[in-house]
Structure formats: C-alpha cells, structure tokens
Structure 1
Amino acid sequence: MRRIALMLAAIAGCSAMQPAMAAEDFTLPPYTAGYQPATVDERGLWMQADEAERVIRDSPARIRDGRLEEYLLAVLCREVGQDRCRGVRVYAMEIPQFNASMMPNGAMQVQSGLLLRVRNEAELAAVLGHEFAHFELRHGLNGYKKMRGATDMMAWLTVIGMASATNSGIANFWLAGSIYRFDRAQETDADILGLKYLARSGYPAEAAANIWQSLMAEADASAAGRNQKARTKYSAGFFDTHPASPQRAAYLSAEAAKLPPGGDARAQEFSEAMAPYLSRFLAAQVKLNDFGGSEYILENVASRAGWTGELLFARGELYRARANPRDLQLASDYYRQARAAGYLAPELDRSLGLSLLRNGQTDEARAALAAYLSARPDAPDAKAINALLAN
C-alpha cells in the first residue's frame, strides 16, 4: 500500500505541473536536417509511420492533382524554412473535418475541412507550423514512451493490488490522467514553437489565436443550429489531450503580442489556391448535417470574397437539406441568385427543380429538371429524374 501511495504522490506531482509559457526569445532552436531514428523504440515507431504513410498515400480520399499538395508544402517551407521542410511529404486529404497531423517520419496530412475553415495563408501556416513543431520536438516518440510506460505501470499496479488486496483503480486513474496531461503539455510546446515559426516567416503572429477564436464561434453556431447550449469548454478536463480553446486562444494572443505587429496574411494567394477546390469542399461540408456550423463557414468565406455563385449554390443546398418551413423557398431563391451571379453548373437546375417540386411549384420545377436532363442526359440520376417528370 505504501508503494502505491508513493507512486500516487509522484504522479500527482507530475500531473499538477503546468506547461511553461514561451519566453520572449523567439529564436528558433538548432535543427539537424536528415535526422534518422536512433533507438529501437524510434525505429519501431518510424516503421509504423511508414506503413501509415503508405495507407494515406494510396487512399481514395487523397487529392491527387498535385497542385494542392505543392501549395501546402510551399506554405510550410515559407514558414519553417527550406532547411527544415526538406524531406517533408504533404498529403491533402478530402475529409471535411478540421484536422492536420504529422508523423514521426516526416509525413504530414492536411484535411480539406481545415482548408475550408482557415481564412488566409497565415492561419494555414500557423496550423502547419504547429504540426511541424510536434515533429521537430519528437513528440511522437516521447508520447509513445510515455504511453507505454504508463500502461505498463497500470498493469503492474493491478498485479500489486491483487496480491496485497488493495485497490489499484485510483492509481490507474491518475496514471491515465498523467498520459493526457503530457499530451496537453506537448500541445502547448508545439503552439509556442509554432509562434516562433510565424515570427520569422513574415506572417502575422496573431493568426494562431484567430484560428481558435473562429473555431469557438463555429462551435457555438453549430450548437445554436441544433437548439443546444454553446459547448465551448473554458478549462481542460483531466482526460482532455488539448488545452481548452479559450485558454489556447488567450495564451497564443498574449504571446503574439510580444512580437512586432504587422505581417502579410497572404489572403489573396490563399483564395486563389483554394478556388479550384472550394465547391467540392463546400459540398462535403453541407453533407455533414450541421446547419449552424455550415452557415457560419459560408458566411465566413463570403466575408472575404462576397457571396459568389458557388457560395450561394452551397447555401441553397444547405437550406434544401434542412427543409424546415420556408427553407425550400429560401433555397430556391439562393439558387436563382447563384445563377444571376454566374454559377451555371447543370446541378443548379436539378437542385432548383427538386426544391420547387417539394414546395408544390410543379410547373417551374418540371422546367428546371428538364433543363438539367438536357444538359446532363447521361447523369447517374437521369432515370429517377425522368420518373419524376413522368408523374
């Protein structure tokens, strides 16, 4: 029992430690290019990462035109420097959630949901730099060792508890929490190193905090769209692996304030790079059945470039999918506005026709659906649309 108590005291002390905030020195740490795994643990971890990279590389979700991945790598190199980004492989994945990650072997994956939500190149760079910081600080290896050590200790505590007829559950609880606490400290360290990258790259340092403020606003909009209370967390729970978003935004903003103001967010360059993919990213977002969050994203994008035809079409799709009273009429109005703004994809007539049909406006609906079939006679849903017109 005394041994368990000593372990608990040590664990509690570790879990109570707060991650250190950044010093005002934003000099980048030394970096060794071409690093190779040096220990048995690390070689094993890299082998797992190599296999995971093969899965990502060959995934049908990967965006394979090459242009987007080249752009993402260029942004990373602009931020962290050519010496650091040499050898990094970036994979763009068509997954509508906000996420990016980097593996210990230098492979990074960036999801389309992130690209839809960040508002300029500086915000994108802040996320990529954060993930690269995990790589540079070798958090994957450290986390692997921490996880393995803590789970091994849990097993031993269980055996000790059985042998001594004592309860090892409390010790296991604190050990599990120490794993997650370590992860939160890693996230903070990566945030701070990411700010150092921003400081030397010419991007505005406040971009990192702006991301989290926007994500909190989206979460609140998503909750409101479901008639729920706002879900933003104002402190990190014991088993949370990341600092709470308000806390994260606050300390990133405070650290950014120590840096010289200004910088080029390169919003125009970002918009041009995303333009070929925006319609498909929006379509995937609408399918998530998150009306409030999707409406927030649409308004966010429109605040930068105005309500373009493709944004209005996506908004029509969003309202048609929800189909509350008046939504179908609003959807039809958005489709018409999209056409007036120059959006001429045949799918507009299809969506307009289906919306009008559900709203009881049969004649106009039939005309729109006929126009769709005329433009797309070999469409996958042509048989179903013809059946609707035959009734």
Structure 2
Amino acid sequence: MDFKKKEMNLELKEQDSEHNKKKKEEGSPKRKKGCFKRVLSVLVLVVIIGFSFFAGRQSVMTSNAYGTGLNNGKILRKLSMLEAFAGNYYLNKIDAENVENNIYKGFAKGLQDPYAEYYTPSEYQQLSEEDAGKYNGIGISIAKDTDTNYPEVVSVFKDQPAYKAGIKNGDLITAIDQKSTADMELQDVVSAIRSEDNDKVVLTIYRDKKTKDYTVEKTSVELDSVTYKMRKNKIGYIAVSQFHENTDEQFDKAVTDLESQGMKSLIIDLRDDGGGLLTTCTNMLSRLVAKDKMLVYTKDKKGKKEEFKSDSGKTVDVPMVVLVNGNTASASEIMTGCLKDYKKATVVGTTTYGKGIVQTILPLTDGSAFKFTIAKYYTPKGTDIHEKGIKPDVEVKMSDKQWKKAQTDEKADKQLKKAIEILKK
C-alpha cells in the first residue's frame, strides 16, 4: 500500500570545505507499484555527509544521528578505492550514470525491504504517469512469473494496443525487440516496452507451448481501473483492477449510475487487484461506510497512530459481496477488511495476499525518488493482516485453469456464481 499525502524534497547541495553543512529536507511524503540518482561529486549514499577540519586533518561524519548504523567514512573510502581500481584497470568503458544509479539501488536493496526501491528520474516519471491512470504505452499490466522468471501479462486493457494486437492474460514475454527478458527487473521491462526510441515494440510471447512475435503500437493509454454493469435481479457488479489516482472518481461514477438504475445489491470484485493508493482506497470506502466511522489506521516504528475516517454523507446501503483471491492485496485488503469488520459485505473467494504495510515515496529535487516502508496498517477492529491475509466468509476455490477459463467464460466463474447466489437469498 502506497501512502500519498505530502511531498518531501531533499535538497542536494555542495559541501563547504570550511565547515559542516547539513542538507535540508523539506515537506513530507507523497506517493507512488523503484531506483536512486545523483551522488554529488563525492559519491554520497543517501545519508548526508558533512566535512570538518581539525588540526589539519579531514574527518568524515558518520550517520549515527540517523539511527542507521552506517559508517559513511568507511563507505566513502572503500568506494573511492573501488573507483580508483576500476578507473585504472577496468577493461571496458564505464557508464558513470549507471554506476551511480546502482549505488542508490544497492542502498534500497540493502534495507531488505521487498518494497523499497530507488527510482531514477525517468522511472519515477513513468511511475507517476501510471499512478495517474494515464501514460504512453501499450495497455498491459505485468508481474514476475516465479516458475520461469519471465514477466507475465496479468491484465490486458480492453481496446488498447496490446488488446488489439492479440496479447492475452497469462502470456509470458520472453523478449522485447529481440532482447531476452529472463534476467530483467520488472521496471526495466516496463521501460523497454515504453521506450520513446520508436512508436512500436515487438514482444516475443510464449503461449500454449509456442513462441510468436507480436508487433504492438504505442499510444497514450488512459486506464479504466473500474468496470461495471447491472446484472439480473438488479445486482450491481463493479470490478476494480487497481487503485490509481482517478479510480475513486470512476468508482463513484459507477455506484451512482447503478443506483440510478435501481440497484438492490452489489458485488465488488477485487480479485487480482494488487492495490495502489491509500487515499484513493479511503475515498472509495467513504462511499460505502457511514460518515466518521474509522476505515483503517496505521502505526509507524515509534508507535504513532494515524486514523482514516469516512468523510462522506452519501453511502450505499444495500447487501454487498466482495470477491477476493490470493492476488487481492494492499489497498484491496484494506477495503475488504473494513467492509468485513463492519459486516457491510460478505467476503467470497480465497484468502487474500496479506500485505499489511504502507510505503511512501520521497521525491528528490533532481527528479529521482526513494520508496520504502513506513508503517503497518490495521483494520477498524485492529486486525493485523500482514503475511496472513483475510480469510473469506465463504470459501470458494478455483484452480489456475478454472480461473483462466473464467476470464472468457463467465459460466466457469464459481466465485461469481456463489456471490450471486448469496445476494438472491
């Protein structure tokens, strides 16, 4: 779950050799599904390095004041030594920018936080565009397939370039413009697909034990993260694929339209929804939960608690079912947990993913950004779901094969059938 509230700018300035100067921090967190940029002239890692002189001897401050335990003097000396060796003896040309970025990426990786990432300026721009729900690309969502290590297409947005080209959910992207994706990080895959070098991209797709190349045009993609329709018996159906900046507006529009059609009950489908923005989620919940009720709360490392409450006077008051599966995570789990705690909805499906932590992104003044975990979140009743997930009220299991078939044949969707059955009673 990403936390978007305020904005943090870290001012990067030259060190003054005459006395110590601390770099300034301004603002506070802002969000947004990492890397680092800008080392200064002395390869500073992320912590602030100050210099002072005593008896003609230079000393380097450590970062004990920040509580990290890092010894910046030792780090800088070793980096300088490595740079000297590489500069004098490394066979190939050194890409200084790439080395610099990977120093920052290494810092993020060293935190052993699976959600910590350093974003270069271009990567952060891409991320911001995606979070806004509009970007230049081909209209797919991808995830790493743990069995093959290739990126897997998990969502193909209807009427977008990839959809028109014939890309399908479950496809493995084995190469991009003839370059293998086997060892590529997901962010690098996204960057390669969305490269501005050309207006088309060739994806090598592995499907049904066969490999085929697909040429896909790039265009401005505006994501519809909410789809909806009125079903028989006045059962409203809303599917949410992700929590972008504009998802709450789309959700409100869907609910309002279904209400105008005389909706008597509602199914909210959060299956395969990996989450997104906390503020978007709470805005959506405010449409479902009475005003001033707690929706979720967070606690940071110091035990500081922050509560998020419903601020809407216009809420839905019909029987509801929430559909979930093992890929329902983060913001989706906040929505599920809240509705379950207040008995506003019956949860149907399988146990959710179990991501009960909050990340923030700190934008830096050079255009780069740093994402890391800052808090745990709890459902209104105080339930910690991290690495546990939320168990459904009614468990309905579906195999991968059944789920794949259900994407094109609604009759094969056992979980949806159960939701309709519950609401018909």
TM-score of the two chains, using structure 2 as the length reference: 0.24
Instruction: Identify, as 1 or 2, the structure richer in helix.
Output: 1
Report the structure number with the largest CA radius of gyration: 1
Higher RCO structure (Cα 8 Å, ≥6 apart): 2
Instruction: Identify, as 1 or 2, the structure richer in strand.
Output: 2
